[in-house]
Amino acid sequence: MLSKLFPKNYDFYTLFETSAGLIVNAAEAFQQLLSKGEDDGRSALATKIRELESRADHNTHQTMTLLHKTFITPIDRQDIHDLIKRLDDILDFMDAAASRIILYEITQVTPELHSFARINYESSLLVHEVVSALKDLRNPSEILRLCIEINRLENESDQLLQKAMARLFKEESNPLAIIKLKEIYELMETVSDRCEDVANVIENIVLEYS
């Protein structure tokens, strides 16, 4: 009961950081997956990403349970809910893209796939950094600078998608190959959209508390 009145508030921050750390791990595994040949551990890396996604699900569930047991939260209840759900979304789309590379038997790893994986890895590092920075809201300008960096990468990802699709239509004539790569490109671009959603939630938190 006392622990309910005097919650260990840092727990929420630890849970956020856990999800953010899983995102970084998945982004790393994604880059490794792209560098492997089809019979050289690609499936194992997709499975690893799926496991990281399950652990994030579990972490989201734990956060919600803690939220229901806690009277006084360090930041607004809805912000905690939104933040952990948006972090979860990032991993969902990484997993969706990775599993489609396996399912669609994509053998031709285009330069654009590598570029998306690089942008998503950089975004994941920024997400991890900004989530860690949340613990101390006394320096909002640094937090907002990180959010702007995440938005910048989302713009870059958007431009990349346009160029990737233009080249695909020019150089690939097989419609099925186009449909498959288009879907994977779009899923990888959505990863950076979801990182931007996290930045938006964090901007909101900073607006309220700093």
Inter-residue contact 147 to 127 (CB < 8 Å): no
> Rounded distance, CA 64 to CA 69, Å?
9
User: In which element (H, E) is residue 145 found?
Assistant: helix 140-171
How large is the greatest C-alpha to C-alpha distance in the chain, in angstroms?
67
CB of 30 to its own copies, least distance (A): 17
Q: Which is nearer to its own copies, 104 or 121 (CB)?
A: 104
Of the candidate residues 24, 66, 67, 125, the single one contacting its own copies (CB under 8 A): 67
Q: Is 2 in the site for its own copies (CB under 8 A)?
A: no
Q: Which stretch binds its own copies (CB under 8 A): 14-22, 26-34, 60-68, 108-116?
A: 60-68
Q: Which stretch binds its own copies (CB under 8 A): 10-18, 25-33, 97-105, 108-116?
A: 97-105
Residue 7's nearest CA partner among 100, 51, 72, 67 is 72
Per-position b or e across 147-178, b if 16+ CB within 10 A of its CB: bebbbebbebbeebbeebbeebeeeeeeeeee
- Residue 106 DSSP symbol: -
Residue 106 CA from chain centroid, whole number = 22
Q: Which two tokens mark 190? A: 């959505």
Q: Which two tokens mark 50? A: 């799926």
Q: Which is nearer to its own copies, 27 or 147 (CB)?
A: 147
Q: Is 55 in the site for its own copies (CB under 8 A)?
A: no
Of the candidate residues 179, 185, 187, 190, the single one contacting its own copies (CB under 8 A): 179
Q: Is 190 in the site for its own copies (CB under 8 A)?
A: no
Residue type, 112: E
Give the per-residue contact string, 123-162, with its own copies (x = CB under 8 A; - = no).
-----------------x---x---x---------x---x
DSSP 3-state of 167 = helix
Q: Which residues bind its own copies (CB under 8 A)?
A: 61, 64, 67-68, 77-78, 81, 85, 92, 96, 99-100, 103-104, 140, 144, 148, 158, 162-163, 165-166, 169, 173, 175-176, 178-180, 182-183, 200, 203-204, 206-208, 210
